[in-house]
Structure 1
């Protein structure tokens, strides 16, 4: 304690008042949300470096390297096209099924990668957490940054596929940018929420493949979205069509394709996308921040 604080110890001030007067705070105190945000901003270079290191370690040992970021969704789309488009006849209900399918697969892969890697953001870095002091949100944020970079690269490939399959370039292609922005914020909140939940409930990561598979089937990734209206109605259909992943997929299709039938009017889809982005983006951040003091303990 500074000498002035020692001198004031006999003035009748309580230890808490003395600490506050001299800028001291309790060890392990949860910072305010604004203070925590400022700390994260000061660690932005660490987040970028950690994201780059994760990319290098994940793909640097393979011969094709970062090319796998593009090849993975393309191969998935090719497999799904053969099964759902050719064998099961899903392409019959859509004029450009290849572009329709690829848009769904690429957007879904973005969220799937965020969830799968976000769930391990804390538990997979316990050594780093226990060795160094830094805002723990840096870890899921670096996960989100890696996947956003990957999706931007994949997005250019998706545009090429859309062009090759006969779709023209229109002014609506500019809508890809706000779709990307909203979906990235939504996914970042999802990564933060998944990181905290995965740190508290370790076994949940075993369920993630099943959860994501169910989410994929409920998001009209592999077949025309109109099939939902043919087999559901009322509040059940309303819940299905309020699925955030379905909304982002539909907006991407609306941006890149002409004459595509959507789950609802574009204005409604945009409104829902903004609401989901705010709720999950801010909610995931606050949810993670509230557990800041407990990460890496136990």
Structure 2
């Protein structure tokens, strides 16, 4: 567990850990993204035994967190802004200039996105059936307060075939239906026409691009989308830029689980999320007043959703 303050012994341990070129390289990339050992080896072009040894040293020095995602273990640099701001400032400088590892890191993130897109492309014709297997009526009920009052500007990010558009249309606002897939958007538009929905703007936009091509909105929705995003924390920062002050983000997704089959069934990059992780990402993106509601059902592996609503500062 991260301490609020560091003793001289802690500082000595940390400084010794950082006094190594390989470990500085690891801190540089793990400060920017959460990565598994295979991805770290790909970025650094170093062998797995060497990477594992250095990761252990950094973790024992209170510089890294690790977490299991199915059969994979991911590592990320601990945020030292509160416990040791001067050291945090130094570590932040490591990602402030060009380095070959950062270029290779971007390629790894793009590879995650490509693998997820390939699965999604193959599921386009069956997407209504696929998303219905994830959809949870209770989650929808918990999410509804995020779209009130009526007349707001709403963005459905990763809208797919527009399953939620008839529901969102009831709030009499201006809706932006956003998806990277032209095929999905065409199906969403067909659904809107069949249901005689109101003012809906269809926008083709890759959520992984770092730029959302929509105006600022009052409420932005991620409905079972975040688990398909290679860098969720980066997406949340992009969403914060497109959210008006006191506007809201509504996230509906899966709690952490161990069902590896969801990678092929739903194009999942991540096997769900835990509350602490989501809350940390939202705080870093500039959201507050976080309300996280978990709808656990242990009888349905991989189908335990949560709803999280947060307000832009």
User: With structure 1 as the length reference, what TM-score do the two structures score?
Assistant: 0.29
Higher percent of residues as helix? 1
Higher percent of residues as strand? 2
Considering Cα pairs closer than 8 Å and 6+ residues apart, tell me whether 1 or 2 has the greater RCO. Answer: 1
Look at both structures and tell me which one has the larger radius of gyration over its CA atoms: 1
